[in-house]
Structure 1
Amino acid sequence: MTCNPNWAEVKDNLLHGQTASDRPDIVLRIFNANKDELINIKVKQQFIGEVQAYSYVFEHQKCGLHHVHLLLTLKQNSKLTTSNIVDECISAEILNPDTDPELHNIVIENMIHGPCGDWCKDGKGKCSKYFLKKFHDETRMDENGYPTYRRTDTGHDAASVVVTDANNSENVIHHDAIKNCIDTRYVSPFEACERIYCRSLQNKRHAVIRLPVHLPNQQIVTIGDAESEGAIRNALENETMVSLTQHEQLGQTQQHTLNGKQKDIVHTILNVALSNEEGLLKSCFYIDGPGGSGKT
């Protein structure tokens, strides 16, 4: 979702003569409110199905307004598994102005890429964003479930025209804002406000913690390009993480060192954690005790 300076909430709160760029504080507050509403629609209202987890991150751009990348992981019974289900949720076409005038205007004003130029072309002259997209009469999904959206050929909707003086090539101004800029850290007014307000630039649910365990002989080994044979052997033998078997043995050893009260606490918490009862899963435990009494 990209911030839109033409949002009615933004314009209504600007003073006479002000633009959205003059009030990054207002724009940010409205953008965050819309972001929260987007998550509410997708996650709590289950607009496209039940959400297992989500993660989002903000991006602030020098040449444009900020936006948020939102990744949703749907539960198995809500995944978009067929082309028909994808078409019900996602459209990659310019909609009919007669049947969907509001959405048609939004797409035309905010979601058209181009015309392509030096700003988006790679060294081979191709668009780095892979435009123009090929037309497809129907949505197709590959073996990994990645869709190629339906884009029917309805003819050209726009044309890019450049008018120059054929007899005078000197009136063409060659200006590249990217090549002429200074290689430095640029903080936009919007990102500066975000930092001042101490807002997090990312969030996720649920938090995922990588445990320092691995299956037998599946540990991560890092070897440099110029490493000697001895260094490679040492890297293979270096155990930066313990295996699941070692982890279980460590847990069993620690279990025997617990006293009666500590074992009762561990068993109580494990019974709740392994329970399928909804009421028990919402339980909260608070363990109180002086330092050195073995709470950890």
Structure 2
Amino acid sequence: MEVSIDESLATGCNGIYTFRADGSIYHSIGSLLPNENSRPRREDIPSCKLIIKEQQPNQRQYNLPTASQIAAVIVDNECSYNLSSRDIIIQGIGGHLMNIQDIVGYYDPLQYPLLLPYGTYGWDTNSRNNDGSRVTCLNYYAYMLQIRENSSSLLLRGGRLLQQYVVDNYVKIETHRLRWIHTNQSNIRSDLYQGLQDCLNGGENNAGNVGHGIVLPSTFVGSPRDMYQRYQDAMTLVQTYGKPDLMITMTCNPNWHEIKEQLLLGKSPQDRPDLITRIFKIKFDEFKKDVVDRGVLGRVRSYSYVIEYQKRGLPHVHMLVIFDNIDKRREGMRVVSNNNDQVIIDNGWVVPYNPWLLLKYDCHINVEVCGGIKCVKYIYKYIHKGPDRVALELRNRQNCDEIQQYVDGRWIFPPEALWRIYSFEFSRMYPSVIRLQIHLPNEQLIRFNPEQSLGYILANDDNSKTMLTEFFKMNSNPTMVEKYLYREFPQHYAWIQSGKKWTRRRSQNKFVGRIYVVSPSEEVLPPYTFEPC
């Protein structure tokens, strides 16, 4: 770290010298390029280049960044099982070098001495609350990055150093979660119910020797499986309520007075990504109340939205709205103007906007009427395309690993990192879609602990119960007067996972059922087709 003597304080006074520290911590490795009469550190350094390549225009995940912000690119050049900690080396007082992990408490004060001048410990695996309960990495940094009344946080005054702190620690959070999923593959097994029966009849009683590992599940928000399932859920709403009527895009305005009045002199909105994140969340919540609850554009029957960034430095949201039949819009009529040359004017010439929304929210809000049915799949695939990515490296890989595909080339920058640290919703749809299992008799997928015996697993009746089997059981009851199709059942009954049973709904909330896709051309159905991740 570079330091300098502050002579304005030390000159003419008795006592110790005053040093001012500036900049970030770097490893002293000497010059990468060769000096005169010396060898270079690496022979290939002069020819090395790190290039972010822009992909095809239809691959918007790979757009080049346009904002001047500190970002992280999560890249793992090795196999997926090498989701190891970063290579961090420190030099002790005695001069010896040692490796440390980023999940130890003293990593933060060593990496960010300007933000933590008193050596405040960061999160580690032994962090506890006052009541002794364990504190997760996500909860710890969400607490550290809060805006508190009548309190001046040095962290939030860090400018670009704050950006680095936020991105660095979010990468720590997500890498820790991915590492846990990958290292616990052998602790969570799955197989068909009939497959376990066959193994037991064949003399195998050790559950650890059968079954398949669980890949990156859809419960991991933003994963390819998660985005695909959300797309299928959204198309189920289209099947139920019809095509969307409006596609609304709302973009954060960095010049909102709520952001400007909180900035220190000489600071820009980019120096406070926490303000950008929180103010946009508040504005969007009010926007949802106007559109959905108050019905300023019409009575809403269904909606879905996704928060995006696209490397522009500011969050924005895509929202698809389906109105009640009475409030549905009609296509605009073409107008022909004959002034010297014949010009045909249609909806393509119109800038879609709503003046009332623009005046109230003071930001870019695009309100566009959705066209024919052909564009429906494109719109839903567009808003569920997944997180931002960059193309840093091209290489052939023979083994396909879903976790490796997800972390390779992901682009993360401060507003997105803070949105995830604060646990704000990235997407939502209404009504909620209930995903329904489907399987052949005795071929339901079950999950089990490999430490248990096969006899114990098969003796547990709950392992043979699924949404489908209990649906047939409910309909076989002669006292049940109302008969519903399988996909209609979630509208009237709720599935209790802990008790493996359907119960009558008491709330007035709406739900839509969706059966997992099964191809009729598949003779043998793979286990993962029916996995309700």
Same fold per superposition (TM over 0.5): no
Task: With a CA cutoff of 8 Å and minimum separation of 6, indicate the structure with the bigger relative contact order.
Answer: 2
Q: TM-score, normalised by structure 1?
A: 0.44
Name the one with the larger strand percent. 2
Q: TM-score, normalised by structure 2?
A: 0.26
